[in-house]
Structure formats: structure tokens, C-alpha cells
Amino acid sequence: MTRLAVVGGGFMGSQIATQAALHGIDVRLQDVSEEQLEKSMELNRGHLRRRVDKGRMTETDLEDTLARIRTTTDLAQSVTDAEAVIEAIVEDLGAKRDLFAQLGALAPPEAILASNSSTIVISKLADVTGRPQLCANMHFFSPVLVMELCEVVMGPQTSEATAERCLELVREMGRTPVLLRKEVDGFVVNRILHAATQEAYRLLDSGVADFKDIDIAVEKGLNWPLGPFRLGDFTGLDITYHARKHIYETTGDPASKPSERLREKVEKGELGRKTGKGWYDYDP
């Protein structure tokens, strides 16, 4: 199994690490905050505990899985013998470039360096590593312990061998990969989702229908498990807003401009389930 390092111990990074450990992969999970690492691992223990309670895994499996994850605040220690490194830190280009420069210097020269980012393509990071042919995007979907897909995206200099290694790593982790041979904003899923949900927001902003009725129409008519507004509450309206803002600022396309109603929600701090209120109200 691939020796894996995951950099970024927040929600996404810790779940990527846990998903890998579930399938027998030894993982080093690094974050600058020891408190964040402890919090994330305790949350993931809770996720696995529910599987035990439902009879989907044993107590021994739970403990063995968590034992495969070694946490550290030392970046050099986390990547020293890694065959692959997956970055899952804050969506900030400067921070990611600083990290990838360090990874290029610290990780073994043959290690692949991947970013979990869904908005920052690997070509914006690979040049600082000294090994652009070994860099790619590996975009897992949230929550990683539930969602099966991972988009593997090649940059202009990503080698075929690197792409194949990324695909194989996703399969080792028990997830299903798809390969994108060219960089494109939003990749496949978010690009299609953006087009559909952007139309839903246009319908709302123009007064065609209420958000609840749009959700019902999409759920019952298109068989989506969640309508666009319910889905936005689940993922976080701030994440939805900033993703749309990024696409708008990158492309300059007026059709990609974020909804005013969405902007108002974010400015009020009504971000969805995590704040108890978004488009819908939630029991805290």
C-alpha cells in the first residue's frame, strides 16, 4: 500500500486520512495545530463509532484504522518517507504555493504531490516544487467518508505515470477515480453543478419561484437527493459563495456572478447547517 502523507488536519484532510486508513494505508496527518488534529480525530472516531453501532465494522477494525494514522505538527517528519502527499489546507493560493515549495524540498524526490483543491489548479502550484511532472489535483468530495468520487486532474506538465499513480491511490483508498486530462475551472462535477445551481439562483432572484419550491421541483423532477438550496445549506453557503465568486473573477462572465440573495446570506452569517440557519432553519 502507498505510504501517504496528508497535510491539513481539518475536516477534509482528516477524512481523507481516515478513508485511506480504513483500507489499510498507513498515513501521517500533519497540521500546524495540535488542537485541530485532536479535534478532527475525535470527530472521525465518532463517525467510525456509528459504523460499529450499526454493525458495519468491529471495535477492532475501528481501533486498527485509527492506529494507522499518526498525527504530527512537524511537516518534515510527516513527509520524510511518503510516496504520495495530498495537500488539504486553506483555499489560499499564496499559502498553497508556500507549502508546495516546502514539499518539493522535503518529500522524497520520487513522491507525487497532489492538491485536494477544487478551485486552484495544479499548474498554479507545481512550478515551485522542482517536480511539476509529479504534481496533480486529487479532488475528493465532502464528506470523504461518504462520497465515493475523486477527480484526478492533470496539469500541463503532469506525466502519464503520475496520473496513473494517482488513479491507483484513489482505488487503494476504496474510492472511484475519474481522470481529467486538461485543467478547467470547476473540474467536471462542480462545473455541471455550478451551471445547474446558478440557474436555480437566477430563478429565485427573478421571482419565478420560492427556494423551497425550486428545491422540491429539482428533487422530485430530476431525482436529486437534495435540491440546490438544501445542498448549499449542507455544504456551507460561504463555500458556495466563494466558489462562485472565484469563477466570476476568473472568467469575467456576468452569468457566473454570485446571487445577491446568496451574498446577503453569507454577510448575515447564515451559512447553513453549521450555523443553524441558511435557506432553512436547523436545530442547533
SS (H, E, C) 242-271: HHHHHHHHHHCCHHHCCCHHHHHHHHHCCC
Question: What's 8's domain CATH number?
Answer: 3.40.50.720
Please indicate, yes or no, whether residues 173 and 124 belong to a single structural domain of this protein.
Answer: yes
Please indicate, yes or no, whether residues 141 and 270 belong to a single structural domain of this protein.
Answer: no
pLDDT score recorded for residue 248: 86
| Number of C-beta neighbours around residue 215 at 10 A | 23
More confident residue, 252 or 229: 229
Residue 8 host element (H or E)? none
The number of domains in the chain is 2
Tell me if 214 is assigned to some domain: yes
> 158, 180, 202 — which closes off a domain?
180
pLDDT score recorded for residue 251: 82
For the chain, the residue count is: 284
29 pLDDT band, cuts 50/70/90, is very high
Please indicate, yes or no, whether residues 80 and 42 belong to a single structural domain of this protein.
Answer: yes
Mean pLDDT of 190-196: 89
Query: Is pLDDT above 80 for 112?
Result: yes
pLDDT above 90: percentage of residues in the chain: 87
Distance CA 114, CA 134 (A): 8
- The residues facing 281 across adjacent strands are 277
pLDDT score recorded for residue 14: 97
Tell me if 142 is assigned to some domain: yes
More confident residue, 191 or 158: 158
Tell me if 280 is assigned to some domain: no
Pairing of strands 84-87, 69-72: unpaired
> 148, 180, 212 — which closes off a domain?
180
* Predicted confidence (pLDDT) per residue in 119-154, tens digit: 899 999 999 999 999 999 999 998 899 999 999 999
pLDDT score recorded for residue 284: 65
Tell me if 242 is assigned to some domain: yes
Q: Cα 27 vs. chain centroid, distance in angstroms?
A: 17
pLDDT score recorded for residue 179: 98
pLDDT score recorded for residue 82: 98
Tell me if 282 is assigned to some domain: no
Distance CA 49, CA 58 (A): 9
Question: What's 242's domain CATH number?
Answer: 1.10.1040.10
Please indicate, yes or no, whether residues 250 and 165 belong to a single structural domain of this protein.
Answer: no
Please indicate, yes or no, whether residues 235 and 262 belong to a single structural domain of this protein.
Answer: yes
Please indicate, yes or no, whether residues 134 and 233 belong to a single structural domain of this protein.
Answer: no
Please indicate, yes or no, whether residues 145 and 225 belong to a single structural domain of this protein.
Answer: no
Domain range enclosing 258: 189-275
Tell me if 258 is assigned to some domain: yes
Please indicate, yes or no, whether residues 125 and 37 belong to a single structural domain of this protein.
Answer: yes
Distance CA 23, CA 39 (A): 22
pLDDT score recorded for residue 51: 97
Q: Which three cell numbers stand for residue 219?
A: 428533487
Q: Are 79 and 107 in contact (CB under 8 A)?
A: yes
Please indicate, yes or no, whether residues 120 and 237 belong to a single structural domain of this protein.
Answer: no
Q: Are 228 and 237 in contact (CB under 8 A)?
A: no
Mean pLDDT of 179-197: 92
Please indicate, yes or no, whether residues 265 and 158 belong to a single structural domain of this protein.
Answer: no
pLDDT score recorded for residue 169: 98
Q: Are 138 and 150 in contact (CB under 8 A)?
A: yes
Tell me if 220 is assigned to some domain: yes
Please indicate, yes or no, whether residues 146 and 76 belong to a single structural domain of this protein.
Answer: yes
Alpha helices in 130-188 (DSSP H): 160-172
> 130, 151, 180 — which closes off a domain?
180
Distance CA 120, CA 199 (A): 24
Please indicate, yes or no, whether residues 142 and 203 belong to a single structural domain of this protein.
Answer: no
Question: Annotated active-site positions, please?
Answer: 118, 139, 151, 190
pLDDT score recorded for residue 194: 87
Tell me if 281 is assigned to some domain: no
